[in-house]
């Protein structure tokens, strides 16, 4: 059986997540995500270049969990797909736009301290979420259900 793969995105949360509802009542969270970029120098060192910013949306239980657990500045790794569509810009000219639609999202373990609570929780159907939370401001890791 082949390994299942999908498109991924990693970066940082650039704006406070905003939750809303679609016309049919589905929960939707919008996040402006940033990605840092680097150039490799001849001596093997790296120079940081300008960051890029992208739209990311999540739906249903994943949207609710992301809005609850992610804050501006958090580092993330997400799995999903790119949705390409036409939309008018501020001058009314139609432009092609891209949005990353995240089906799964979690905090980046390289940049986030956390503990995982593996105690079974009551499952109410597929959630497509990750229950990882960052350390509190006081520096104490937060235990969460998984």
Q: What is the pLDDT along the chain (146 residues), one digit of tens a residue?
A: 999 999 999 999 999 999 999 999 999 999 999 999 999 999 999 999 999 999 999 999 999 999 999 999 999 999 999 999 998 888 989 999 999 999 999 999 998 888 888 999 776 665 554 444 444 444 444 444 44
Dihedral, CA atoms, 115, 119, 125, 130, nearest 10 degrees? Answer: 10
- What pTM was estimated for this model as a whole? 0.75
How far, rounded to the nearest angstrom, does the alpha carbon of residue 69 sit from its chain's CA centroid?
11
């Amino acid at each position: 059986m082949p390994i299942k793969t999908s498109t991924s995105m990693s970066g940082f949360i650039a704006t406070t997540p905003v939750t809303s509802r679609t016309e049919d009542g589905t929960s939707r969270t919008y996040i402006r995500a940033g990605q840092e970029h680097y150039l490799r120098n001849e001596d093997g060192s790296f120079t940081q270049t300008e960051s890029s910013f992208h739209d990311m949306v999540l739906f249903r239980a994943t949207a609710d969990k992301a809005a609850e657990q992610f804050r501006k500045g958090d580092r993330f790794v997400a799995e999903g797909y790119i949705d390409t569509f036409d939309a008018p810009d501020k001058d009314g000219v139609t432009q092609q736009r891209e949005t990353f639609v995240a089906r799964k999202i979690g905090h980046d373990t390289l940049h986030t301290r956390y503990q995982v609570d593996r105690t079974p929780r009551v499952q109410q159907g597929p959630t497509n979420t990750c229950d990882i939370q960052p350390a509190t401001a006081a520096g104490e890791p937060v235990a969460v259900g998984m």
